Structures are given as C-alpha cells and as structure tokens.
C-alpha cells in the first residue's frame, strides 16, 4: 500500500454554506423544527425594558445554551460556552454565524446582592452559604428551599441505633444521650472516633464483616467542610486570600482523619467517588455497620431495615469550632438569574425568588421531610431535630462551589486521587497538591473579577 500524505488545508480560504455543516438528521435540527422558541419572547417580555438599560443577550439564546448543556451532559456553563464557540451544530442552533461572538458563561449569572426584596438572612436561604461563598460581597448562586433535591444530596452520617444500644456505645448505649450531645453542640471528632473504635469489628475483609464506620470519597469531601478545614482566608476587604503555608489546624485535622479512617481496620473506606449505594447500603441494612456516611436521600432506600436507624450531622473537629457544617455530595439546587435583566425588573425578580423560597421553606420542604423522610424513614423527634440541625448547617466551601459551577471539576478530586494512588499522609499529600489548587483558583478569581467589576 502506498503511503499517502494529506495536504494541509488550514490556510485555504473557502466559501461555505453554513447549512451544509450541520447534518440533516442532527438532533438539534429536529428540536428546532419541533419547538416554537419565539414563545420565550412573550414569556420574558415584561422582564426587559424597551428603551433603557444595556443591550441584552437574546433570551432564546440563553435558554438554548442551557438546553445544550443538559442535552449533551456538559458539566458547567463555562464548558458549554467553550463548546458553543467551536461546535458548528451548537452555533447553528443558537442562530450564530461563524463570525458571531458567542455569549460568555458569566452572562447567565447575576449578583443577588443587588436584587431588591431579596434577604439572605431569612430562614429559607442558606446564610452560611453566603458567608462562605460570596465573592467580595457579591454572590451569583443563591441556595435555598426552592427544591427539595438540595436535601437529597446532603452528606450525613446514619447510625444504627439498635447496634449502638446493644454494644453499649457512648453512655452505656443511651441513644438519647447521643442526640443530646449533638443538640448541645458537643458532637466532636474525638467523641466520634471513640464511638467508632468502641465498636468491635469482626471478619474484616470478609463477606460477613462488620465495621464501626463505612465511608466513600464523597464523605471525605464532607469531612473537609464538617471539620472546617481552612486553606483560604478573607482579608479586610472581604477578598479571598491563600495561606502561604498549610495552617497548623489543617495539618492536625488531616492527621486526625488519617488515624481514624486510613489506619484503622474498624473503618471501611471505599476509595472512589462511587456512592457505594449497591454494597454499603445493603451492609447497613443488614446491621453490619454502626455508622455510615452517605447522602441523606439514600435514607429512602433503607426502608426495609429491621434495626432502628437515625441520622447525625458530621461532627465538629473540637469544642473551639463554632458550628456544625454540612455540605452536599455532587450537586445542589441553586437559583441563578440572567445577568442582563432590565434594571426596572430587578425588584420583581427579587420578589419572585424570595416568595418561591419562602413557600418552599413553609410548604415543600416540610412535606418532603414528613412524607419522604420523617414518617417513612426517621420517624422520631430525635430524627426531626437532627434533620433541622443538618438543614440549618448547610454550606459549601468557596473552592468547591466555584470550581464545580464555573469549571470542569471540583476542588478535591485530584487531592484524594493522589493520596490513594500512593501518598503516605493526608497532610503531605495536601502540601503537594495545594500549589495546583491555588493556581486554579487564582485563575478563577481573575475571571470573576474581570466579569464583575
């Protein structure tokens, strides 16, 4: 067979018909033919001003970009905007020519602090989230009670109350004393470690093994927040800054995690980002686990469990930590508002999002708790009290929130992968990884600063 060398056609100027670049049977062609997107103009007409304000992005384009993101499984708006630039079918679907500038991902995000009638201190918004995730006082994702899916993703610790009592854990197996400990703000890492260690593991590694605690890598991320690990700090201007060296407290937290989770045969740790629901759920149902780190929504899969179960927040690191902190596994329902809404529409938007979350707090979330969780799964006063503590302690650290929302990966995946691929200590792994994370976030801050001056 003769060797053929292809010619380089990059420098050739050509005249092309844009229609010919998109296959006739492409899914987006079918959607465009079947859906009357012009209806969107009628739906949003009152949100725009005809005479005043800066020029807006076509609202149909905004809707279509979000549709593309979900149709093709793109992980973020930033990635979607990047793909729209280079994908001919996406450009065709949006109505852009080859020369048109495509919308920047930040076009879809609005500073909620400028919305009239929006009050982040109200119970139906996560004020903890705002305190942690605002960017120089601005924040572009509001987390509240508009959808119960937020609660399904919350990372919690389930406890087998039957095993707890039978094995005389804590105060001679007194389960009420455990919940009182949480209510009193005294549920700390040392107490948690002692209770896990006091449970006698059996047949470790075998099919019928029992453990004091089972976790997966989502649980590690939850521990990061739950134990209030800090690798950035706020200056006097409320700007995020990096520590030059890893704080001593953070090193102490990692060493404590290492001694319990990594070096303790009483703990079963799945070293992937799988939720392990197929295996660890069954172990917990059989009564093989005393404590179990998992998403709250998985409680609905434990209805057949014969032992009595309860739920707990992740512990504080020590008595000096002011609050419990709860975070989510993969995703969380958040509110975003188009950045280019007309100034005279901002008040109406603020009223609407405030009213929706208030209604969710008073009507939707309680029904979810009562019908899905409390009555069917954790139907006790202790359970309800713990759920309220978990709910009120929800937040997300800055790096996780913004790298997941504006980037392609979350902040900790590479860290844990590096550790389980061979590093010896959590603290030494983090010291090596910290420089890369700092570089990633520095670039992210520059993008956000440039877009939201």
Give residue-wise pLDDT tens across range 164-176: 999 999 999 999 9
Q: What residues contact residue 61 under an 8 Å CB cut-off, 6+ apart?
A: 94, 95, 96, 103
Mean pLDDT, rounded, for 228-237:
75
83 with 187, same domain: the answer is: no
The reported pLDDT for the residue numbered 35 is 87
Quick check: is 7 in a domain? no
Q: Does residue 12 belong to any structural domain of this protein?
A: no
pLDDT averaged over every residue in the chain: 78
Helical residues (DSSP H) of 48-188, grouped into ranges: 59-71, 77-86, 88-94, 127-133, 149-152, 161-166, 175-183
Query: Residue 312: which pLDDT band, with cuts at 50, 70 and 90?
Result: very high
Residues 132/322, Cβ–Cβ less than 8 Å: no
Question: Residues 215, 81: one domain?
Answer: no
Does any domain span residue 365? no
Q: From its phi and psi, is residue 125 left (phi > 0), alpha (psi between -120 and 50) or beta? A: beta
Residues 87 and 153 in one domain: no
Same domain, 136 and 186: no
The number of folded domains in the chain is 3
Indicate whether 211 and 311 sit together in one domain.
yes
Confidence class of residue 366 from pLDDT cuts 50, 70 and 90? Answer: confident
Rg (CA), the chain: 25
Within a domain: 38: yes
Residue 367 forms part of a structural domain: no
Range of the domain at 295: 149-333+376-399+407-451
Residues 173 and 246 placed together within one structural domain of the fold? yes
Q: Which of 2-16, 89-103, 119-133, 207-221 has the lowest mean pLDDT?
A: 2-16
Do residues 263 and 279 share a domain? yes
Higher pLDDT: 337 or 357? It is 357
The pLDDT of residue 451 is 57
Residue 130 lies in a domain: yes
Of residues 449 and 163, the one with the higher pLDDT is 163
Find the length of the chain.
453
Which one is predicted more confidently, 10 or 362? 362
Q: Which of 399, 401, 374, 375 is nearest to 385 (CA)?
A: 374
pTM strictly above 0.75: no
Q: Which of 97-111, 115-129, 227-241, 297-311 reaches the highest mean pLDDT?
A: 297-311
Query: Residue 292 has what DSSP assignment?
Result: E
3-state helix, strand, coil in the chain (%, to 5): 50, 10, 40
- Domain match, 72 and 32 both: yes
Region 418-436: mean pLDDT is 64
Residue 408 pLDDT = 44
- 273 plus 381 within the same structural domain: yes
In a domain, 252, yes or no: yes
For 71-80, the CB contacts below 8 A with 24+ separation are 71/27, 75/408, 75/409, 76/105, 76/404, 76/405, 76/406, 76/407, 76/408, 77/105, 77/108, 77/109, 77/405, 77/406, 78/105, 78/406, 78/407, 78/408, 79/408, 80/105
Q: What are phi and psi of 268, to 5 degrees?
A: -100, 115
Query: Which position has the token pair 């708790």?
Result: 369
- Residue 330: pLDDT band (50, 70, 90) is low
Q: Are residues 38 and 167 in the same domain?
A: no
Q: Per residue in 2-39, pLDDT tens?
A: 555 656 666 666 676 778 788 889 999 999 898 888 88
Q: Are residues 225 and 271 in the same domain?
A: yes
Domain match, 301 and 423 both:
yes
Residue (of 382, 381, 392, 390) closest to 177 by Cα position: 382
| Residue 430 pLDDT grade (very low, low, confident, very high; cuts 50, 70, 90) | low
| pLDDT tens, position by position, 193-212 | 999 999 887 777 677 889 99
Which of 42-51, 210-219, 229-238, 256-265 has the least mean pLDDT? Answer: 42-51
265 bridge partner residues: none
321 lies in a domain?
yes
Q: Is the pLDDT of residue 48 over 60?
A: yes
pLDDT of residue 289: 94
CATH number for the domain spanning 275: value is: 3.40.190.10
């Amino acid at each position: 067979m003769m060797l053929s060398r292809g010619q380089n056609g990059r420098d050739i100027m050509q005249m092309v018909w844009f229609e010919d670049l998109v296959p006739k049977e492409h899914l987006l062609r079918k959607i465009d033919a079947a859906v009357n997107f012009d209806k969107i103009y009628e739906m949003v007409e009152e949100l725009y001003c005809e005479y005043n304000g800066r020029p807006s992005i076509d609202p149909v384009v905004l809707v279509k970009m979000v549709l593309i993101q979900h149709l093709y499984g793109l992980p973020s708006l930033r990635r979607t905007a990047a793909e729209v630039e280079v994908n001919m079918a996406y450009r065709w679907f949006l109505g852009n020519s080859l020369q048109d500038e495509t919308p920047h991902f930040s076009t879809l995000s609005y500073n909620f602090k400028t919305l009239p009638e929006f009050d982040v201190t109200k119970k139906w918004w996560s004020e903890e989230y705002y305190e942690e995730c605002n960017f120089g006082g601005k924040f572009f994702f509001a987390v509240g009670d508009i959808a119960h899916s937020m609660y399904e993703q919350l990372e919690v610790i389930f406890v087998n109350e039957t095993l707890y009592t039978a094995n005389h854990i804590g105060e001679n197996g007194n389960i009420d004393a455990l919940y009182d400990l949480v209510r009193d703000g005294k549920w700390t890492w040392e107490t948690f470690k002692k209770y896990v260690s006091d449970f006698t593991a059996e047949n470790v590694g075998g099919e019928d093994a029992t453990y004091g605690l089972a976790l997966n890598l989502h649980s590690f991320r939850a521990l990061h927040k739950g134990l209030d690990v800090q690798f950035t700090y706020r200056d006097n201007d409320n700007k995020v800054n990096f520590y030059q060296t890893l704080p001593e407290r953070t090193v102490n937290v990692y060493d404590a995690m290492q001694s319990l989770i990594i070096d303790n045969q009483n703990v079963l740790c799945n070293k992937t980002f799988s939720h392990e629901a197929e295996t660890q759920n069954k172990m917990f149902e059989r009564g093989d686990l005393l404590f179990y780190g998992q998403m709250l929504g998985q409680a609905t899969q434990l209805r057949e469990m014969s032992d009595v179960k309860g739920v707990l927040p992740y512990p504080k690191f020590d008595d000096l930590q002011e609050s419990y902190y709860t975070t989510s596994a993969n995703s969380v329902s958040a509110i975003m508002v188009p950045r280019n809404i007309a100034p005279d529409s901002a008040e109406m938007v603020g009223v609407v999002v405030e009213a929706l979350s208030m209604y969710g707090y008073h009507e939707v979330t309680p029904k979810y708790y009562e019908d899905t969780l409390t009555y069917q799964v954790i139907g006790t006063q202790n359970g309800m009290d713990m759920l309220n503590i978990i709910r009120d302690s929800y937040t997300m650290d800055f790096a996780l929130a913004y790298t997941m929302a504006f980037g392609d990966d979350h902040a900790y995946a590479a860290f844990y992968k590096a550790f389980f691929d061979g590093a010896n200590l959590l603290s030494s792994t983090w010291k090596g990884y910290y420089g890369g994370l700092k570089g990633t976030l520095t670039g992210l801050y520059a993008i956000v600063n440039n877009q939201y001056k």
